[in-house]
């Protein structure tokens, strides 16, 4: 069965004004959709067509001859994960187990937020900022282009897309304002808690 574009977990205007309906229409309806379509075309009539997205990503990571499959499979996975990393009226200080783990591994929420902002702002060009679990410890990491924690034996807990298409319609060149809005108004800590397992 072909891979499908999952619906957004909220209405297109639900994250407004921090992320506009217009941005979500393009970002989900055009960009995310194109990765799914490209992936289906690339794996058609191969054993990968019936594999899980995660198995495809792990199977082709680091294989230069399969970079196109990796990029489109990873971007399909990354965007679904990104939509779920946000919710309307989200953001602010964490709750539940993730709050305790952030205090333990970063010192406090403010130190985590500063590290996350730095990673997201300094990812040169296109990429992603992540909160991950790495060997039992929380870490902030950034990845370039389609790269993702799964390719580095890390468990993703939250992500922020810092490709220009994620914020240009709403923030133009002001990536730091987009990062701040994500932290203050959008982060879905329930999703991070669920990903802690």
Question: Which residues lie near Mn ion (CB under 5 A)?
Answer: 161, 163
The CB-nearest residue to Mn ion is 161
3-class DSSP state of 25: helix
- C-beta atoms surrounding 77 within 10 Å: 22
Encode 168-196: b = buried (16+ Cβ within 10 Å), e = exposed.
ebbbeeebeebbbbbbebbbbbebbbebe
């Amino acid at each position: 069965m072909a891979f499908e574009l999952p619906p957004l977990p909220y209405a297109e205007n639900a994250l407004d004004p921090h992320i506009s309906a217009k941005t979500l229409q393009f970002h989900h309806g055009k960009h995310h959709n194109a990765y799914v379509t490209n992936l289906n075309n690339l794996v058609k009539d191969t054993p990968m067509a019936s594999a899980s997205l995660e198995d495809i990503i792990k199977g082709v990571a680091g294989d230069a001859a399969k970079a196109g499959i990796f990029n489109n499979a990873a971007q399909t996975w990354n965007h679904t994960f990104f939509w779920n990393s946000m919710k309307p009226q989200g953001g602010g200080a964490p709750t539940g187990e993730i709050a305790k783990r952030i205090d333990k591994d970063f010192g406090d929420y403010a130190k985590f937020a500063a590290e996350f902002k730095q990673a997201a702002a300094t990812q040169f060009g296109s990429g992603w900022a992540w909160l991950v679990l790495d060997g039992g410890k929380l870490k902030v990491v950034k990845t370039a282009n389609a790269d993702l924690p799964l390719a580095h034996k890390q468990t993703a807990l939250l992500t922020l897309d810092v490709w220009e298409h994620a914020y240009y319609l709403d923030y133009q060149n002001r990536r730091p304002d987009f990062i701040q809005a994500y932290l203050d108004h959008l982060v879905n800590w329930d999703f991070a808690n669920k990903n802690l397992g």
